[in-house]
Amino acid sequence: MQRGFTLIEILIAMAIFTLIGLASTGLLTTVIDSNDISEDRFAKLQLLQRAMITIERDLQQAVPRAIRYNGEKQDMVMAGGKLNGSDDDGIGFVRGGWHNPQLMLPRSTLQYVAYRLNENRLERLYSNYVDNVIGYEPKVRVLLEDIESLNIEFLAKSSNESLDEDEDLSWNESYKGTALPRAVAIEFVSKDFGKIRREFTLTTGGAS
């Protein structure tokens, strides 16, 4: 005589399978959420790496070339610290090495660039020409978002005079000089990665 399952046994089996299904769903949801978080963090890490490469390239190709400001010639080749247009520190200078194959484009290989903090965004400002006409607005590229602060320091003499090997140098919070400083340190606080500091040597092209 064959004996079937009782109603209680069926209900118990259904409850067990329901618990297994709920646990599996919860585990799958956790895995998917973790994967989304990992992908989002990896994407932000890639943005951070590209931003640092851009900053490093610009600073290591800095050249001692002054620009015209509002049509007037000046002697400063680099200015940095608390600058107008930035919510925190900023820096502006001319870089070389801007690729122009066989000089086919109507511009030089020099480019004026600047960095600033604007509404928690680290921005790179640039223009096609070193000396622009009065009223020209530079182009803006957002490198990073959710940046809480930006601090830029300069390894140079406080007097900003020409540098000799035997002179004592120190980190200064601002710089306006007719010669490039020995090094530039850029430090910012990211909401995602915390405090990040990079120091770039301008004279030897190294970075640490």
* CATH code of residue 139: 3.10.610.10
pLDDT score, position 204: 44
Which amino acid would we find at residue 136? Y
Residue with tokens 């994967």: 35
Average pLDDT, the chain: 83
Per DSSP, what are the bridge partners of residue 82? 89
Using CA atoms in the order 95, 97, 102, 108, what is the torsion angle rounded to 10 degrees? 10
Residue 83 CB partners (closer than 8 Å, separation 6+) = 89, 90, 91, 92, 116
206 has pLDDT over 50: no
Q: What is the pLDDT of residues 162-200, one digit of tens each?
A: 445 546 788 999 999 889 999 999 999 999 999 999 999
Distance CA 160, CA 27 (A): 61
pTM of structure = 0.75
∠ CA 81-82-87, nearest 5°, is: 125
- For residue 64, the enclosing domain spans 1-208
pLDDT score, position 40: 82
Distance CA 148, CA 194 (A): 9
95 has pLDDT over 80: yes
Confidence of residue 99 (pLDDT cuts 50, 70, 90): confident
Looking at the structure of the chain, the number of domains it has is: 1
Using CA atoms in the order 160, 165, 167, 171, what is the torsion angle rounded to 10 degrees? 60
Q: In the predicted model, what is the mean pLDDT of residues 11-23?
A: 81
